[in-house]
Amino acid sequence: MNALKQILGGNTRQFGMIFALVFLVVFFQIMTGGLTLTPDNVINLFNGNAYVLILAIGMVLVIIAGHIDLSVGSVAAFVGIVVALTMRDWHLPWYVGILMGLVLGALIGAWQGFWVAYVGIPAFIVTLAGMLLFRGANQAVGHSNTIPVGADFQYIGAGYLPEIGPNTGYNNLTLLIGVIVVVAIIIGELRARKAKAELGGEISPVWVTVAKLVLICAVVLYATYLFATGRPGTSFPIPGIILGVLVLFYGFVSSRTVVGRHVYAVGGNRHAAELSGVQSKKVNFLVIMNMSILAGLAGMIFVARSNASGPFDGTGWELDAIAAVFIGGAAVSGGVGTVVGSVIGGLVMAVLNNGLQLLGAGADQTQIIKGLVLLAAVAFDVFNKSQGKPSFIGLLTRGKGKAASPEVTADVVPNSTSETISHSA
Amino acid sequence: MVPTSAVILEMNSITKEFPGVKALSEVSLQVKANEIHAICGENGAGKSTLMKVLSGVYPYGTYTGDIVYQGNICQFKDIRASEAAGIVIIHQELALIPELSIMENIFLGNEPTRFGVINWREARRRTIELLARVGLADDPDTPVKEIGVGKQQLVEIAKALNKSVKLLILDEPTAALNESDSAHLLDLIRGLKSKGISSIMISHKLNEIEAVADAITIIRDGKTVETLDVAADGVDEDRIIKGMVGRTLESRFPDHTPTIGEVFFEVKNWTVAHPQIADRLVCKGSNFNVRRGEIVGFAGLMGAGRTELARSVFGRSYGKYLSGQIIKDGKEVQLRTVSQAINAGLGYVTEDRKTLGLNLLDDIKATTVSAALKKITHNMVINDDEEYNVAEDYRKQLRTKAPNVDEGVGKLSGGNQQKVVLAKWMFTDPDLLILDEPTRGIDVGAKYEIYGIIQKLADAGKGVIVISSELPELLGLSDRIYTIFEGAITGVLNKDEASQESLMKLMTAAKKSA
Ligand SMILES: Nc1ncnc2c1ncn2[C@@H]1O[C@H](COP(=O)(O)OP(=O)(O)OP(=O)(O)O)[C@@H](O)[C@H]1O
Ligand SMILES: [Mg+2]
């Protein structure tokens, strides 16, 4: 077990999340008699949850900066309907529609960011207002009707990678992506090893690295196989590609750029950040604005997938996104969280949803279980922190000498729900 | 009554580990009745940790060893349990709620009730009584944020007295206090002793310890070194230092011959109003300058406006700017924001590291580079390796006690946190570094090192401003000292003209001629 933990990397929280995800998948695979890991189901899972995962990416940044955004569902719906309407009435091509949606998202974000950052109204209030405002705007603009969208626009929400090249019996592009990912992972890991060795840091034994790579690559290749062998016409879904690009982009921005650092700094201690030259107003503005842009994108993907924009699109999305972020290890008080963690948190919820559905559980039972899982995930964190004990998973994997249990800070107790800050998204 | 020599507290072989750090190993401590017992040791020696073990902050079971208090073995499960036994701790950082009144703070968590309703009349009666005991004349309804740190410390003690304390633990109670407030506090602790309340006191101000303590236990690297009986052993500061660092320290200040150049930084007619109260001036037309290679001291009483002056100059990060000029290298510069100030080559190390200086969620390396991210950013990407190397360099140079630079700053001891803040500003490579109480809570050895670092910065042709409430520090370090009184600069003395008396005079009264 300890070795397993070593293989999956040091961060206990992240490890716990991945462990929970794998556990859930295996559990449902067994319980559903193999219905979980079929190409169709996995594709469905991605398609049906891409928009929530995209929202989670924006939401984690908002939450790290110490805010919250309740308006994302309404903003998504409003952008969705405006894009659908204008494309229909003005006969705009799909790419102009998408561009317009993103710009509209940015404008809405600038509006909300203005109130939060420059006027100083708490984001909870501003976005609660936004939630009502943009829901109303959606229904006013669309007269509470459902507006269909064209087939080319549907591609971003329901499309798949095309078939090209020789007929191999698999989807070639999907295979290609799988191989690229595997190569990238291997190169990245080797590079990190080399850099660590040069810095004189502690490097893990060779067998650990090899085992880690083999394990991860096996998972990636298996997923590739699933995506590449679905029903004819299906392959890796476009929303999945968009999501992948966004995860890479935002994961990188949050951990390796100045803006990203500043988001953590503002959420961790705003005054200290300001006295270090961080323009906290600008950071807050950007974070809130970015959230609305992503909400707009999520809205469009959803409209594309469901072929039409409706008056009740996006209801409750904010809660799914927020839940994903907290399951993914962010702290309510800000300053803590990672993009990857939030996406994994979102996937945990998605797998849970999907598995329960396959098992024939009703929406009522699913909701109850999801609520309990959210509570349990965060409760474990809080409990373990206050006890100074490693998390449940940490207990299973406890190694000699170095238990992964940072005790609550001595002089001041930052009330975060996650263990340590980790910039390594 | 317990006989005076009776041991009331015994801590035997206390061992406490944090992940990767053994903070205490087999530490023992004996405190007698009616005694003021000091604990000394370098930053990170384990003093605060030992006191947290004693007071139940780290509950029974998270450490090994026994605590025997008044003959009973104690296994405190939380702070309430230790308070019930009469042991009350006042932490290194004050734990009052700024928005609440003095009275509400004193009774927080301990509210007198009648039929479940808070009895404020009773609370007020007792507050007045308690405030009289600690010598505080303020209205019980004054919000705590409106009284100075000195008085806040007294409120903490009143709060402890309200819990019928028998053994009072004070973790660096005078670190943030000026001399007269400190003297008052120490008198109070002596007074409590005569009423049968023993105290354990941690402090880096060795002169105070020498003056007030009956016994001293010295801790080094998590182990007890020795316990000294002040009267019997004839203990003085040098003796304490020897115990703490393992050798004698010849001088408190490194030898230094300054090479002072021309004036490169000048502030003229600097006038700033209070951020909320528009007609209250916190800086009244101040003029000062700094020359290259010079260490300039700012002396003044608590609340005289030294910090306000420094922060308003540093990108107007405090108060409302009304008028005044800043001239750097012969040209007037506009420093409207902190980032402009940093870009113009200014750095400011705050006096309040917890709330203004650090993000406690960050690790050492991220903190070290946080004010100069640009220096390690290439093509918009932060270079992790450089970050690590820079942080590691400063950790070695400043001898910050931490297992590695991935350690969270929230887990460092107070003094080591201060070193990380210093590293952060040294890395911005400023032309003018303003240090606000740079050695607050820092042990003697580390102080010496920090003085050396300040002198090296000056020798590299930079200007350094040091704000300090410890006059000996200003006298030992500065080449020139400005005195400030109620927001106005009242004088400037060269190193050879300055003395405690001459400074005090200027610090306490406006210019006679004015
Ligand atoms: N919560 C914690 N987690 C991990 N390590 C800790 C924690 N609290 C303290 N330590 C470590 O334990 C050691 C002792 O710390 P402690 O705060 O007791 O020092 P101290 O003697 O009070 O120092 P100072 O004079 O600087 O206040 C330090 O090395 C510190 O880094
Ligand atoms: Mg301490």
Q: What is the pLDDT of residue A407?
A: 33
B28 and B74 share one domain: yes
Q: Is B434 helix (H, G, I), strand (E, B) or coil?
A: strand
Q: What is the pLDDT of residue A347?
A: 93
Average pLDDT score over residue span A175-199: 86
A:244-273 residues touching chain B, CB 8 A cutoff: 256-258, 261, 264-265, 268-269, 271-273
Average pLDDT score over residue span A66-84: 96
B:311-340 residues touching chain A, CB 8 A cutoff: 314-315, 317, 337-339
d(CA A53, CA A46): 9
B263-273 vs B320-328, strand pairing mode: antiparallel
A:8-47 residues touching chain B, CB 8 A cutoff: none
Looking at CA atoms only, how far is residue B170 from chain A in angstroms? Answer: 13
CATH code of the domain containing B472: 3.40.50.300
d(CA B38, CA B235): 12
Looking at CA atoms only, how far is residue A208 from chain B in angstroms? Answer: 22
B407 and B445 share one domain: no
pLDDT at residue A403 greater than cutoff 50: no
Q: What is the pLDDT of residue A390?
A: 39
Looking at CA atoms only, how far is residue A284 from chain B in angstroms? Answer: 17
In chain A, which residues have their Cβ closer than 8 Å to the Cβ of B20?
A: 402
Average pLDDT score over residue span B422-431: 92
B305 and B340 share one domain: yes
Q: Where are the domains of chain A?
A: 2-144+238-424, 164-234
CB A60 within 8 A of CB A327: no
pLDDT at residue A391 greater than cutoff 90: no
In chain A, which residues have their Cβ closer than 8 Å to the Cβ of B348?
A: 275
Q: Nearest residue on chain A to B349, judged by CA atoms? A: A275
Q: What is the pLDDT of residue B92?
A: 76
Q: Do B382 and A405 touch (CB under 8 A)?
A: no
d(CA B424, CA A423): 18
- For residue B353, how far is its CA from the centre of ligand 2 (angstroms)? 14
DSSP assignment of B49-110 equals HHHHHHTTSS-TTSSEEEEEETTEEE---SHHHHHHTTEEEE-SS----TTSBHHHHHTTT-
d(CA B448, CA B465): 17
Average pLDDT score over residue span B332-357: 90
Q: What is the pLDDT of residue B148?
A: 80
Q: What is the pLDDT of residue A385?
A: 60
Q: Do B361 and A268 touch (CB under 8 A)?
A: yes
- What percent of chain A shows pLDDT beyond 90? 53
CB A106 within 8 A of CB A289: yes
Which is higher by pLDDT, A237 or A395? A237
d(CA A261, CA B404): 20
Q: Do A411 and B363 touch (CB under 8 A)?
A: no
pLDDT at residue A2 greater than cutoff 70: no
d(CA A81, CA A73): 12
B167-171 vs B87-90, strand pairing mode: parallel
Q: Nearest residue on chain B to A278, judged by CA atoms? A: B339
pLDDT at residue A195 greater than cutoff 80: no
Q: Give Cα separations from A216 to A15, A186, A221 (angstroms).
A: 13, 10, 9
Q: What is the pLDDT of residue B28?
A: 94
- Residue B317 domain flag: yes
β-bridge partners, B267: B288, B326
Q: Give Cα separations from B135 to B122, B129, B169 (angstroms).
A: 20, 10, 19
Who among A195, A201, A336 is closest to B361 (CB)?
A336
Q: What is the pLDDT of residue B114?
A: 79
Q: Is A420 on the interface with B (CB under 8 A)?
A: yes
B14 and B134 share one domain: yes
A:199-238 residues touching chain B, CB 8 A cutoff: 199, 201
B369 and B482 share one domain: no
Q: Is A196 on the interface with B (CB under 8 A)?
A: no
Instruction: Express each pLDDT in B241-294 by its tens digit.
Output: 888 888 777 788 888 888 899 999 999 999 999 888 888 888 999 999 999 999
**pLDDT category of residue B442 using cuts at 50, 70 and 90:** confident
pLDDT at residue B13 greater than cutoff 70: yes
B172 and B282 share one domain: no
Average pLDDT score over residue span B19-34: 90
Q: Is A390 helix (H, G, I), strand (E, B) or coil?
A: coil
d(CA B71, CA A139): 75
pLDDT at residue A49 greater than cutoff 60: yes
Average pLDDT score over residue span A45-73: 95
In chain A, which residues have their Cβ closer than 8 Å to the Cβ of B363?
A: 420-421
Task: State the total domains in chain B.
Answer: 3
Q: Do A411 and B92 touch (CB under 8 A)?
A: yes
Token duo for residue A202: 């502690």
- Residue B350 domain flag: no
d(CA A178, CA A306): 27
Instruction: Express each pLDDT in B96-111 by its tens digit.
Output: 888 889 998 898 877 8
Residues 6+ apart with CB under 8 A from B244: B40, B41, B42, B45, B218, B220, B225, B443, B444, B445
B497 and B442 share one domain: yes
B172 and B98 share one domain: yes
In chain A, which residues have their Cβ closer than 8 Å to the Cβ of B350?
A: 275
Who among A264, A274, A412 is closest to B338 (CB)?
A274
Q: Do B339 and A279 touch (CB under 8 A)?
A: yes
- What number does the ligand 1 atom closest to the CA of B222 have? 14
A:330-369 residues touching chain B, CB 8 A cutoff: 335-336
pLDDT at residue A99 greater than cutoff 70: yes
Q: What is the pLDDT of residue A12?
A: 55
Looking at CA atoms only, how far is residue B14 from chain A in angstroms? Answer: 17
Q: Do B363 and A407 touch (CB under 8 A)?
A: no
Lowest mean pLDDT, pick from A336-350, A390-404, B160-174: A390-404
Q: Do B382 and A410 touch (CB under 8 A)?
A: no
CB B487 within 8 A of CB B293: no
- Residue B352 domain flag: no
Q: At what angle do helices A172-199 and A206-228 cross, to 10 degrees?
A: 160
d(CA A21, CA A31): 15
Contacts 24+ apart (CB under 8 A), B389-398: B389/A199, B390/B365, B390/B427, B391/B364, B391/B365, B391/B423, B392/B365, B394/B368, B394/B423, B394/B426, B394/B427, B395/B364, B395/B423, B397/B423, B397/B453, B398/B422, B398/B423, B398/B449, B398/B450, B398/B453
pLDDT at residue A388 greater than cutoff 90: no
In chain B, which residues have their Cβ closer than 8 Å to the Cβ of A407?
A: 18-19, 58, 62
Instruction: Express each pLDDT in A317-360 by its tens digit.
Output: 999 999 999 988 888 888 888 999 899 999 999 999 999 999 99
Element (H, E) at B347: strand B346-349
Q: What is the mean pLDDT of chain A?
A: 84
**pLDDT category of residue B489 using cuts at 50, 70 and 90:** very high
Q: What is the pLDDT of residue B147?
A: 85
Residue A234 burial (CB < 10 Å; 0-12/13-18/19+)? buried
Tell me which residue of A157, A145, A159, A151 sits closest to A309, measured CA to CA. Answer: A145
d(CA A134, CA A140): 9
In chain B, which residues have their Cβ closer than 8 Å to the Cβ of A257?
A: 377, 380-382
Q: What is the pLDDT of residue A11?
A: 52
Which residue is closest in CA terms to ligand 1's atom 25?
Answer: B43
β-bridge partners, B224: B219
- Count of alpha carbons within 13 Å of A95, Cβ hemisphere only? 0
Q: What is the pLDDT of residue B109?
A: 78
B223 and B306 share one domain: no
Last residue of a domain, one of B217, B245, B273: B245
Token duo for residue B510: 């406006």
Q: What angle do CA A140, A141, A146 make, to 5 degrees?
A: 100
- Assigned fold of A2-144+238-424: ABC transporter involved in vitamin B12 uptake, BtuC (1.10.3470)
Q: What is the pLDDT of residue A26?
A: 92
* Strand residues in A218-268 grouped as ranges (E): none
Q: Give Cα separations from A337 to A255, A268, B355, B406 (angstroms).
A: 11, 11, 21, 17
Tell me which residue of A103, A59, A409, A423 sits closest to B384, measured CA to CA. Answer: A423
Chain position carrying tokens 């240090």 = B435
Count of CB atoms within 10 A of residue A152's CB? 14
Q: What angle do CA B499, B505, B506 make, to 5 degrees?
A: 95
Q: Is B56 on the interface with A (CB under 8 A)?
A: no
**pLDDT category of residue B186 using cuts at 50, 70 and 90:** very high
pLDDT at residue B371 greater than cutoff 70: yes
Q: What is the mean pLDDT of chain B?
A: 89
- What number does the ligand 1 atom closest to the CA of B172 have? 27
Residues 6+ apart with CB under 8 A from A321: A52, A55, A56, A58, A59, A72, A346
In chain A, which residues have their Cβ closer than 8 Å to the Cβ of B408?
A: 406, 409, 420-421
Give me the domain span that covers residue B375.
361-427
CB A335 within 8 A of CB A267: yes
DSSP assignment of A307-363 equals TEE-TTTTTTHHHHHHHHHHHTT--TTSS---HHHHHHHHHHHHHHHHHHHHTT--H
CB B12 within 8 A of CB B28: yes
d(CA B197, CA A326): 47
**pLDDT category of residue A301 using cuts at 50, 70 and 90:** very high
- What percent of chain A shows pLDDT beyond 70? 85
ipTM of the complex: 0.76
d(CA A84, CA A72): 18
Instruction: Express each pLDDT in A198-209 by its tens digit.
Output: 766 667 778 888
pLDDT at residue A189 greater than cutoff 80: yes
Name the DSSP class of A409.
P
B385 and B270 share one domain: no
B58 and B104 share one domain: yes
- Residue B354 domain flag: no
B37 and B94 share one domain: yes
3-state secondary structure B227-256: EEEHHHHCCCHHHHHHHHHCCCCCCCCCCC
pLDDT at residue A411 greater than cutoff 50: no
In chain B, which residues have their Cβ closer than 8 Å to the Cβ of A277?
A: 315, 337-339, 341-342, 371
Tell me which residue of A393, A296, A242 sits closest to A72, measured CA to CA. Answer: A296
Last residue of a domain, one of B245, B263, B283: B245
Which ligand neighbours the alpha carbon of A408 most closely?
A: 1
pLDDT at residue A412 greater than cutoff 60: no
Tell me which residue of A238, A230, A236 sits closest to A158, measured CA to CA. Answer: A238
Which ligand neighbours the alpha carbon of B221 most closely?
A: 1
CB B59 within 8 A of CB B77: yes
pLDDT at residue A392 greater than cutoff 60: no
Residue A390 burial (CB < 10 Å; 0-12/13-18/19+)? buried
d(CA A408, CA A395): 18
- For residue B238, how far is its CA from the centre of ligand 1 (angstroms)? 25
Q: Is B93 on the interface with A (CB under 8 A)?
A: yes
Last residue of a domain, one of B210, B245, B280: B245
Q: Is B373 on the interface with A (CB under 8 A)?
A: yes
| Ligand 1, residues at Cβ distance < 6 Å | A 407, 409-410; B 18, 21, 23, 41, 43-49, 92, 401, 411-416
